[in-house]
Amino acid sequence: MQKPIMAVTGDETATTGDMPTYQIRAPTTALPQGVMMAASPGSLHSPQQLAEEATRKRELRLMKNREAAKECRRRKKEYVKCLESRVAVLEVQNKKLIEELETLKDICSPKTD
């Protein structure tokens, strides 16, 4: 079954402009520990060698994706935390403005008795 296509990237900066994006692609130069570079395809001969190479490539891909997923979750958590603290600040600010408005209304409204 085909999954629905995702349009959301998690980059809220485009709409708000004041929050840090959590989708940042950092170039990776170093391989994870214990990972060897692949032999050149030209040096592979037997079907067994090809199968081993395919397995090795898959494991490398999974390992990289595992790390990428961890990092992605870490950034997302940070981003959500950041949004939550912003909400808290804005709620306080909003409350203060409402109180100020009520005070001004009291001052400006004509007394009727």
Partner DNA sequence: TAAACTCCACGTCACTTGGC
Partner DNA sequence: GCCAAGTGACGTGGAGTTTA
For the chain, the first-to-last Cα distance in angstroms comes to: 73
72 contacts DNA (rule: CB under 7 A): yes
Rounded to the nearest angstrom, the gap between the alpha carbon of residue 70 and the centroid of all alpha carbons in its chain is 10
Nearer to DNA, 21 or 94 (CB): 21
Which of 18, 26, 34, 43 binds DNA (CB under 7 A)? It is 26
6 contacts DNA (rule: CB under 7 A): yes
3-state helix, strand, coil in the chain (%, to 5): 60, 0, 40
- CB of residue 84 vs DNA: minimum separation in angstroms? 12
Q: In the complex, which residues of this chain contact DNA (CB under 7 A)?
A: 2-11, 22-28, 62-66, 68-73, 75-77
